[in-house]
Amino acid sequence: MSLHSRGFVCYSEGRFERKIIHYDFQLDNNFWHASTSQFHDFDYDDAMNHWYAMDIVAALADVLDNTERVFSSQIECFLRGYTAICPLDKQMIEHFPKFLRFSKLYSLSRILTALEDSDLSNTPPWYAGLRLKLKTMTDEMRLGFSNPW
């Protein structure tokens, strides 16, 4: 692991290095400190042992699923910037669809866990709508898993 002068950590000890990753590396879980030119991450409640590339896939999940050309160019731009600082094995990039599938499966399992024992009484008016929305989401997600890798 090497630490760059701007506070960016680069993991390059092995081609398929696995360690603790943030997993929820989204814009709302980090901030830029201008005076030190560093990003600071927080909200590590989803951290897990995984390949480092999984953090990239989690951050790009919304655009990786979209086949429109504009999103493809955003992914290419992100990866160009990322690899300018930290090398990323091409083979790891080829595994992005598998990481994305894992992310969807993990999301499905979390929603299903949240829905367990969710048939409650004395709930606020919005609760029934939320519960229905989550059940509909899980049905759609299950259908997505019928597609081949």
Structure tokens belonging to residue 55: 């953090």
How many beta carbons lie within 10 A of that of residue 132, not counting itself? Answer: 10
What's the CA gap between 28 and 48, in Å, rounded? Answer: 19
**Mean confidence (pLDDT) of the chain:** 80
Global pTM value: 0.72
What's the CA gap between 107 and 123, in Å, rounded? Answer: 24
pLDDT confidence band for 74 (50 / 70 / 90) = confident
Q: For residue 87, what pLDDT is reported?
A: 78
Average pLDDT over residues 11-32: 68
Q: Is the pLDDT of residue 28 over 80?
A: no
